[in-house]
Amino acid sequence: MDIAKSEAWLERAQKVIPGGVNSPVRAFRAVGGHPPFIRRAQGARLFDEDDNELIDYVCTWGPAIVGHARREVLDAVKARIEDGLSFGAPTAAEVEFAELVQKFYPSVELMRCVNSGTEATMSAIRVARGFSKRDLLVKFDGCYHGHADHLLVKAGSGAATFGEPDSGGVPAGTAATTLTLTYNDRDALQKLFADRGSEIATVIVEPVAGNMGCIPPEPGFLEDIVGLCKKHGAVSIFDEVMCGFRVAKGGAIERYGVTPDLVALGKVVGGGMPMAVYGGRREVMEVVAPLGPVYQAGTLSGNPVAVAAGKATLGLLNDEVYTKLEALGARLEEGLKKAATDAGLSHCVQRVGSMITLFFSEGPVRNFADSAATNTEHFNRFHRGLLERGVYWPPSKFEAAFLSVALTEDDIDKTCAAAAEALKG
């Protein structure tokens, strides 16, 4: 695949943007090679600066569940733009948007719009601390909740030790208020609450992990988080920025029947525009200013153009969409399994709804350590082979892939054929 123009753009970008990209994984350093610079997108296809056509399984890292440049969404955005881009004032549209979100997530009694998943999780944690009047945050190794200082933390030496900064620029004192546990480890979670339950302000979790590959929760894991928080006066937070509206119409809350105190939503909720939401139980959310003492504000929060895109996208999500996504996902899952089996490679495919990962290990992959131990060389060969054959797959073994309803069975079959060829090479 010729990417001469993209390579030229990367060289130019590196002179003015760190690494030439505005988010690290886009640099392709985990898989080698250079990233294609995308010029436009339509349906389930991306088109780069060299006019290569790519079947897309990144979907803007999740938002493009109805496909790129969907006419209903574009029309809604164009109509909104004609009346102005931003007002910094209340609008009727943001009320309608919140009411629509509530139809998907009935447990979200009060919500606040923000501009990114990082803002949503950061704000939800602040609310949880303000409500509980405690400081300690519990997260799980491998779950990514945005780039706020207290979330860029890696595990310490033990199962529940204080965290250490996982990024330059994060003060050790900030990281010291975060405790890390292993994802899906119910025993460690129960022990931590038994030892320090009265100090814990909140537990935040990706109910379906997507930042160490697609890893589902094991039976009882989510129930323990919510139940232990309730028992000890802490606040439970589901980070559904990635899995929200993806694993079911009502996200992980609907799929697993477990309701946390707060939820963070992003990606799909904004239809491709900078938009996210945090909200939940009325009693907890009433600590947010102007009702309470927890301050959070944003000039562009509830931006009318983003609200229009979000409303239009959510308005397209019906039962038929999820039936099709499930069928396409199952077809892709079986095709990837066959490709890896025929190539004689250890593997497992893990999928929840329209999130999917091909791991190169026997599996199951239950947590970050399991994910890290999968075969990187095989994944990189798989990724390069797909790209050469016109398939755009996430450029890291730690990132889940996504399906859109714009995909066809023929697209899936082409992808599986490309995977079979890539893995034989």
DSSP label at 275? Answer: -
What are the beta bridge partners of residue 264?
A: 239, 278
Residue (of 259, 268, 202) closest to 235 by Cα position: 202
- Cα–Cα distance for residue pair 91/182, rounded to 1 Å: 43
- Cα–Cα distance for residue pair 392/54, rounded to 1 Å: 6
Phi, psi of 271 (to 5 degrees): 60, 25
- 139 part of the active site: no
- Cα–Cα distance for residue pair 365/372, rounded to 1 Å: 10
For 127, the enclosing helix (H) or strand (E) is helix 117-132
Place of tokens 């999740």: 62
The answer for residues whose C-beta is within 8 angstroms of residue 274's C-beta and 6 or more apart is 115, 116, 300, 303, 306
Q: Specify the 3-state DSSP secondary structure of 218.
A: coil
- 414 part of the active site: no
Own/partner pairs, 156-159, CB within 8 angstroms, 24+ separation: 156/180, 159/185, 159/188, 159/191
Residue (of 30, 40, 51) closest to 379 by Cα position: 30
**Pick the catalytic residue: 48, 239, 370, 411?**
239
- Alpha-carbon Rg of the chain, whole angstroms? 21
Q: Specify the 3-state DSSP secondary structure of 29.
A: coil
**Pick the catalytic residue: 57, 256, 261, 267?**
267
The length of the chain in residues reads: 425
Beta-sheet strands, E only, within 31-123: 38-42, 45-48, 53-56, 110-114
**Pick the catalytic residue: 57, 144, 183, 256?**
144
Please provide the DSSP assignment of 155-191 as one string.
--SSTTPBPEESSTT--HHHHTTEEEEETT-HHHHHH
- 411 part of the active site: no
What residues act catalytically?
Answer: 144, 239, 267
